[in-house]
Amino acid sequence: MIERGHHDMGGLPAGKVKRAEHDYAEWERRVDALAVLMGGKGVTVDERRRHIEALPPEAYDKLSYYERWIVALTQALLQRGIITTGELARKMTQVERRG
């Protein structure tokens, strides 16, 4: 028997779906664009999904939709050796200093 993952809401009550259109924040548009660009480099939707589904339940519940995407894209970059954790840490420090 396959155990249901925390992310798997299929068949469970989850509340109403908001079908209204909404604007995206600039950073969300950038994450989407980054996903498209990385797709051209071989990072597939399935790879992103695998990283999202691997999030611990508390992280999955806390993060927004596009925050999960950026975590997944980051994991793909790290696993492929495109960036290192040191490079990521340095860049995050630079961004934090920008305020």
Q: pLDDT tens, 13-34? A: 767 877 888 899 999 999 999 9
3-state SS class at 18: coil
The CATH class of 26-98 is mainly alpha
Q: pLDDT tens, 50-86? A: 999 999 989 998 999 999 999 999 999 999 998 999 9
For tokens 């925390």, the residue is: 6
pTM for the whole structure: 0.77
Domain positions in the chain: 26-98
C-alpha distances in Å from residue 59, one per residue of 6, 39, 63, 67, 89: 11, 24, 6, 10, 19
